Each structure stands twice: as structure tokens, then as C-alpha cells.
Chain A
Amino acid sequence: MQKEFAFFPGCVLTQAAIEAKMSIEAIAPVLGITLKEIKGWSCCGASQAQDVDPLATLVANARNLALAEQMKLPVLTTCSTCLLMLRRAKAQLDNGQKEKINTYLAKGNMNYQGTSEVTSLLWLLAQNAEELKSKVKKPLSKLKVAVFYGCHSIRPSKDLGFESSTNPTSFETVVRALGAEVVPFTKRLDCCGFHAVYPAEKSVMKMTSGIVNSAAESKADCVVTPCPLCQMQLDIYQDDAQETTKSKARLPVIHLAQLVGLALGIDAKKLGLDYNVIDASKIA
């Protein structure tokens, strides 16, 4: 397993998903991983800034990648939208934009070379599932889990491409390595709606509610997601969404790193389980 990474937390881990940062930083040393936060990383554009200025968004991410290159490390993030934005920028740079964008980076004495790959916590764990399994102290054998991939972990394939986008297996592999039961969950590949919660609120609440209800119908104890934005949408907006559709189901929604932490025997407090809006204490 690659042991050292240039860590790209993404904006949401510094604020509304603070528990995602707490949990990834808690599991990393137990898994023997060193996360070195990229100094001076900027917002990736969050799948929004390109609607205003695609070039500025590409420049910002070229700079983010160049900062990681200076550390001579591959990039790791847990936010799926950051993953997509960084990987898309890398693909654009490596396929013809590098020279042009480097003339702009030069204004800050920086240069993008293309030497740092970009990966996610989910992919890293899936690639090293056996090693992960060997470190499990408290197998989650009684836990029924609905795995929710989140769009930007799998789509579009041309930018992500780690696995099949219609029949992915990485998340199930990881959750099974932790000893938990993966329940059949029809909406595991659906969209939570997070990116349009402002302009298309009514639709988004329906989408969020549908996912929670589908997980509840599968008799899951919780929903787990690798993406902090999906977690926010399904957790923070869950009560609003259920009210919109007059649904009763209420399920804890936890971050991938929190689930891993529980199986590694890390204290729930250290994993920030208190910060989840829907009470997740029963899972611990």
C-alpha cells in the first residue's frame, strides 16, 4: 500500500463535515498511512465555479496539483467532487492544456508536470482490502449497511474510471472487509441532489428522501458514503426531505472513514460521531 499522501481535504472537511476530517485523520495512523495536508490548497470549484469561469477553475486545480507535486506525493481526497474536479483537471492538463496553463502558473512561480496521481480513500481501501481486513479489531458483524456510492465516485467514467460505473464493487469490498453485511439497496448508484439543493430544492428533497426510504426498506441500520457532500445531503437535510414526502424512515448516515474507524476499534468520539445530525451513536 502507498503509505504517504498529499492530503486534499476540500472545503467541506474544514467546516460542515468536520467529522469526516476527524475520522480520516483517526484511521490513517492505524492503517499506517501518513496524510500530509497540502499547504495552501484552494477550493476545487466544487462542480460550481466552472459554470462561472471554466478556465479559472482549471488554473486553480492545476495549482492544487502542482502543490502536491512539490511534495513529491500522490494526492488523496475523500470528497468525491474534489476527486472529480482534480482528476478532470489532470486529464485536461495531460491532454494538451499543460503548456498553456503553465504560462499562467508561472505568475506565481509554479509549474505543473503531471507527476502526482489523484486517488480517493475508497479506492485506496478497496485496493488494499486484505490488509484492511487484517487490521480490523471489532468486526461489524451485526451491522447491516446500505452503501451509497455518490455520483462523483463513479461518474463520469472518462474522468474517474477506477471501476465499472454501472456495476461497481469497490465499496462492497471495503464494507465486507470490515465484517459488515451489505444489504441490497436499489438506489446505491443514484444522485443525492446535493449540488442543486438551492436551485432545484423540491426535486432534490424528493431524491434525498427516496434514497433514505430505499435504504430503510432494505432493513439497513445505516447508510454509509465515501463522499462528505452526499453525507451532508442525506444527513443534514434528511428530516426536511422526509417531511417533504411525508415519509417516516430515519436512518443514520455515516462517512466511510467513520465506519472503518469503528471496525478498527477507534473511539466514537475520535471519529466525530457526535457531529452527525441523525443520531449515529447506536452504530458504535
Chain B
Amino acid sequence: MKFIIDRFDGKKNYQQTYTVEKQDIEALTLLGTLLFIKQHLDLTLNFTASCRMAICGACGVRVNGHAYLGCDTKMTELFEEYKDADTFRISPLANYTVLSDLVVDWEPAIENLRKIKPGLVAKDEFSEKEGCRQNQEQYDRIVGQWDCILCGVCASECNKLTADHSDYMEPFVFTHAWKLANDSRSKDPMIHTKAAVMNGLWNCVHCHECTNRCPKHISGAEDIAGLRALAMRKGLNSGVGPAHAKSFYTDLVEDSGRLNEIRLALRTEGVSTVARAGTAITLMRAGKMNPLEIFGGHEIEGHKDLVKMIEAAKAANKE
């Protein structure tokens, strides 16, 4: 069988095909296969790896366009996923600058991590002697996010980063911000949350690639949603992103119970803006938008009960 590997020698990109016997690699991991190729076929192939037990996070690569942690992926799993394909394409993680073959530059991502202040700033009451104690519930809340090993798999798959990374950060950066903001030992969740908001929190496109690919089963997308809700609760709610999310909530709870598309545009961007006017005209011309909907109405059957249910939930969970 064949492995087509994307290579880069510092100057030019090219693909190199390696032929191996399936029986030689079928009992290995993906990392094992890369090591096999390096040991038996091509000493010049570069990739990073260290612990071989899904702790160091060094061996993330893409197979057929999707990111995997090499040491945590069995070849048998790939055969199953890709229906016994006899050729696999192996590429470096996407959304990183390639340094050599499958080796990528982590420095810009680590710079982003620094922006959210990734160290725990402990509450004043904690002392050197007593340490930072947590009860089981407080520990359980954040333990999943502590599992992040900075493998970069989530960032590789992020559709927003691919489109434009200048106003966004790697999903794992938001996960680290969530973890610190929700740690009972943290002095102030806003130290981390505010930095997340200022660096693209609302620009997530909800593609859920980060959640889907994380080898540690951490949901970057849910951490982003959690940070957004926290920011809103703490009054950090200006801008298009918060206004857009709020308009769905307003329609659900305060208005009819269903989305009003005309009001959505107005609530998101304000009456004074004409940014979305062209779209509204397109929709009206196509007969898809009734301008009279601006007046709202059409409350769903049982909406008053829905509001009672939501109010009960809110009352029971007041901070």
C-alpha cells in the first residue's frame, strides 16, 4: 500500500510516495507507521514525536485532510474509517506554518496562548501553607479541560483559522481560558475571559471541528460558548456577536418563541446600519421575507408555559 506524504525542504513543497506492505504496518499506530517509513525507507523524513502515549502532544498530523494524534491512532482504525483504502495522504497540521515536512511552527499559537494569561492567578485567601484547595465538584468541573496536551489537532481543523487567523485564536487557547475562568481557585475569571473576547471569541463559525477531532474529547466549541455566556453575564456584551446571540434568546423567551428574521438583522446591527439591507431586499424580492414581520406577533402555542419553565430554571440556578 501507499503513503503519499506532503514534504517541504525549506524551499519547495512536494509529495513523496512510499510503498509499504500492509502486513508491516497494520498492527502499528499512525506514528508507528511514520517511524517505520523513517527507519526502513527514508531517513530524511521529518516529523515530531516524543512520548508515544498521548501525553506530550507532539505527533499531530493530517490523514486524508483530517487531523489525528499519531500515537493515539491505530492503523486499523484508519482502515475502518477510510474503508480499507490502499493509499493514505499524510500532511502536516493545517493552519500552522510548515518548517520541514510534517514539522510545524508552534510559536504563533503559543503567543496566542500567552494572550489569555494561561497561568492560574489564585484567590487572595489562598496561602503558600494552605495551598489552593478544591472540593471534588470544583475539581470535576475543570478536570476535562486540564487534559489538553497542546497537540494542535483542534487548530488544524478550525474553519475560521483557515479563512483568516488574524482575528481569531486556536480553539485550545479558548479551552485554556475557559479552564482558568471556571477554576474555583481563580481570583478573577475576567482576566482570562476579557482577553478571549478581545481576541476573537465571537468569531467562531460553529463548525465543531475542534470538538470533533480532539483526541482528549475536549469540546473547544462548548468552551467557546461557555466563555461567551460568562462574558455576557459579566456585562461584556457589546458588539455584533453578543447582539446576534441575544436576538435569538429574545425571540425564544421574550417574543413569539420563534426566530424573527427581520428583527434579527435589526437587533444585531441596529436600525441605523444598512450593512444587511442588500440581503433583506434579495430576500423580499425572492418572496422569502415578509416586511410586515417587523411588527412581530404569532406567539407559539404554549409560549407562556415555556416562559414559566425557563423562569423556574433561572430561579433555581441563580448565582
A-chain residues with CB within 8 Å of residue B312 when the two chains form the complex: 103-104, 107
B-chain residues with CB within 8 Å of residue A14 when the two chains form the complex: 258
- Give Cα distance in the complex from A110 to B278, angstroms: 43
- In the bound complex, do residue A39 and residue B288 qualify as a contact, i.e. CB atoms below 8 Å apart? no
Q: Tell me if B212 is interfacial: C-beta within 8 Å of chain A.
A: yes
Q: Which residue of A lies closest to B243 (CB)?
A: A198
Within 233-272 of A, Cβ neighbours of B (below 8 Å) are at 236-237, 240
B-chain residues with CB within 8 Å of residue A45 when the two chains form the complex: 248-249, 252
Task: Spot the interface stretch: B34-42, B117-125, B132-140, B303-311.
Answer: B303-311
Q: Tell me if B83 is interfacial: C-beta within 8 Å of chain A.
A: yes
- In the bound complex, do residue A103 and residue B316 qualify as a contact, i.e. CB atoms below 8 Å apart? yes
- In the bound complex, do residue A195 and residue B205 qualify as a contact, i.e. CB atoms below 8 Å apart? yes
- In the bound complex, do residue B82 and residue A167 qualify as a contact, i.e. CB atoms below 8 Å apart? yes
Residue of B64, B251, B282 touching A236 (CB-CB under 8 A): B282
- In the bound complex, do residue A207 and residue B159 qualify as a contact, i.e. CB atoms below 8 Å apart? yes
B-chain residues with CB within 8 Å of residue A277 when the two chains form the complex: 282, 286
- Give Cα distance in the complex from A39 to B203, angstroms: 35
Within 96-114 of A, Cβ neighbours of B (below 8 Å) are at 101, 103-105, 107-110
Q: A56-B249, A103-B312, A107-B308 are in contact. Are A42 and B257 (CB under 8 A)?
A: yes
Q: A48-B245, A191-B159, A236-B279 are in contact. Are A107 and B305 (CB under 8 A)?
A: yes
- In the bound complex, do residue A40 and residue B300 qualify as a contact, i.e. CB atoms below 8 Å apart? yes
- In the bound complex, do residue B219 and residue A110 qualify as a contact, i.e. CB atoms below 8 Å apart? no
Q: Tell me if A32 is interfacial: C-beta within 8 Å of chain B.
A: no
Task: Spot the interface stretch: B11-19, B21-29, B224-232.
Answer: B224-232
Task: Spot the interface stretch: A128-136, A148-156, A172-180, A212-220.
Answer: A148-156
Q: Tell me if B9 is interfacial: C-beta within 8 Å of chain A.
A: no
Q: A55-B317, A167-B83 are in contact. Are A63 and B309 (CB under 8 A)?
A: yes
- Interface residues contributed by chain A, number (CB under 8 Å): 68
A-chain residues with CB within 8 Å of residue B164 when the two chains form the complex: 200, 202-203, 206
- Binary B-proximity of A178-205 (CB < 8 A = 1, otherwise 0): 0000000000001101011011101110
- Binary A-proximity of B203-214 (CB < 8 A = 1, otherwise 0): 111111101100
Nearest chain A CB to B221 CB, angstrom units: 7
B-chain residues with CB within 8 Å of residue A67 when the two chains form the complex: 302
- In the bound complex, do residue A167 and residue B81 qualify as a contact, i.e. CB atoms below 8 Å apart? yes
- In the bound complex, do residue A199 and residue B244 qualify as a contact, i.e. CB atoms below 8 Å apart? yes
Most buried by A among B251, B283, B306: B306
A-chain residues with CB within 8 Å of residue B82 when the two chains form the complex: 166-167
- In the bound complex, do residue A156 and residue B208 qualify as a contact, i.e. CB atoms below 8 Å apart? yes
Q: A16-B288, A60-B252 are in contact. Are A199 and B310 (CB under 8 A)?
A: no
- Give Cα distance in the complex from A232 to B247, angstroms: 19
- In the bound complex, do residue A199 and residue B308 qualify as a contact, i.e. CB atoms below 8 Å apart? no
B-chain residues with CB within 8 Å of residue A71 when the two chains form the complex: none
B-chain residues with CB within 8 Å of residue A6 when the two chains form the complex: none
Residue of A63, A107, A206, A276 touching B163 (CB-CB under 8 A): A206
Q: Tell me if A33 is interfacial: C-beta within 8 Å of chain B.
A: no
Within 120-160 of A, Cβ neighbours of B (below 8 Å) are at 151-152, 155-158
- In the bound complex, do residue A43 and residue B251 qualify as a contact, i.e. CB atoms below 8 Å apart? yes
Q: Which residue of A lies closest to B202 (CB)?
A: A199
Nearest chain B CB to A159 CB, angstrom units: 9
Nearest chain B CB to A236 CB, angstrom units: 6
Nearest chain A CB to B97 CB, angstrom units: 19
Q: Which residue of A lies closest to B301 (CB)?
A: A40
- Give Cα distance in the complex from A119 to B204, angstroms: 26
Q: Tell me if B111 is interfacial: C-beta within 8 Å of chain A.
A: no
Q: Which residue of A lies closest to B210 (CB)?
A: A156
Nearest chain B CB to A16 CB, angstrom units: 5
- In the bound complex, do residue A46 and residue B279 qualify as a contact, i.e. CB atoms below 8 Å apart? no
Residue of A17, A63, A203 touching B205 (CB-CB under 8 A): A203
- Give Cα distance in the complex from A155 to B163, angstroms: 19
- Give Cα distance in the complex from A103 to B290, angstroms: 38
Q: Tell me if B314 is interfacial: C-beta within 8 Å of chain A.
A: yes
B-chain residues with CB within 8 Å of residue A12 when the two chains form the complex: 259, 261
- In the bound complex, do residue A63 and residue B202 qualify as a contact, i.e. CB atoms below 8 Å apart? no
Known: A11-B258, A56-B310; 18 extra A-B contacts, CB below 8 A, are A12-B259, A15-B259, A15-B261, A15-B289, A17-B288, A49-B248, A51-B232, A54-B229, A151-B206, A151-B209, A152-B206, A157-B212, A166-B64, A167-B83, A195-B206, A198-B240, A198-B269, A204-B163
Chain A to chain B contacts (Cβ below 8 Å), 22 pairs? A12-B259, A14-B258, A15-B261, A16-B288, A40-B300, A40-B301, A40-B303, A45-B249, A45-B252, A51-B229, A53-B229, A53-B310, A57-B252, A151-B207, A152-B208, A158-B212, A191-B205, A196-B203, A198-B241, A199-B241, A204-B163, A275-B287
- Report the 8 A-B pairs with minimum CB-CB distance, sorted nearest first: A108-B305, A40-B301, A191-B207, A11-B259, A203-B163, A199-B241, A191-B159, A195-B206
